[in-house]
Amino acid sequence: MPRLRALLFDIDGTLTDTEAVHFEAWTRILKPLGRTVARDHYDRNFVGLTSDAIVERNFADIDPVVAKRLPEEKEALFRSLLDRLVPTPGVREFIARARDAGIARAAVTNAPRANAELMLGKLGLIGEMQTLVIGDELAHGKPHPLPYLTALERLGMPANAARVYEDSAAGVRSGVAAGVETVGVDVHSASVGATHPLLALGAKRVIRDFGAETFG
């Protein structure tokens, strides 16, 4: 197997924990429509998907005119709510070590480009990524493998020389389906042991932070 030559990172929930902000944005956007979303439902049916896919999955009964504008309104509100972002512990140092070791880096996300660039900028990581793959700009977003296959193509790397870092079920499915070693990231769970749900989806292991990550 080739040595590790590329690292492919999700953004939301992987490089930084933004789910509370996303949840708040959806809560505010849906309130005028008389809708509420329980956090456990949100975790199962929103996290990791594009806003268009979220609306299609959860709000098929909403007036189509209203439904069409929901994703854009929600993402604009999300950006307005973002303040200083806190990187996942160890991730900036890990990415710097990868750069110094000549390992390619890419960000691969279902977030809109405006969100992704804003988050990477606030994290001080936008210049660290050699390419930024946006699921909404492709024929398929995550959980389809196309976003990660696109990152590999842009970097000129084979799947077996890369590693994916992902926090969501959709993202892990995407990385695994692309044939890339996929590591789960979970900054919230008390345990990331053998029963973690991301392992059942094909993640090789699950980490809480990047402090102990190596290129082996």
| Range(s) of the domain holding residue 127 | 6-17+85-207
pLDDT of residue 194: 84
Ramachandran category for residue 179: left, alpha or beta (phi over 0 → left; psi -120 to 50 → alpha): left
Whichever domain contains 134, its CATH number is: 3.40.50.1000
Q: Same domain, yes or no, for 159 and 120?
A: yes
Q: Same domain, yes or no, for 149 and 165?
A: yes
* pTM score, whole prediction: 0.87
Question: Per the structure, how many domains does the chain have?
Answer: 2
Of the residues 81, 113, 133, which one is the last residue of a structural domain?
Answer: 81
pLDDT of residue 1: 43
Give dist(CA 114, CA 50) in Å, integer: 13
pLDDT of residue 165: 98
Is-contact 196 168, C-beta < 8 A? no
Q: Same domain, yes or no, for 42 and 117?
A: no
- Residues assigned a catalytic role: 10, 12
Nearest to 209 by CA among 120, 95, 88: 88
Give dist(CA 128, CA 119) in Å, integer: 13
pLDDT of residue 48: 84
pLDDT means per 10 residues, the chain with 216 residues, are 88 93 93 92 89 89 91 92 91 97 97 95 96 96 97 98 96 98 90 88 96 94
Distance of CA 212 to the CA centre of its chain: 21
Q: Same domain, yes or no, for 90 and 126?
A: yes
What's the one-letter identity of residue 31?
K
> Whose structure tokens read 């059942």?
200
Give dist(CA 216, CA 213) in Å, integer: 9
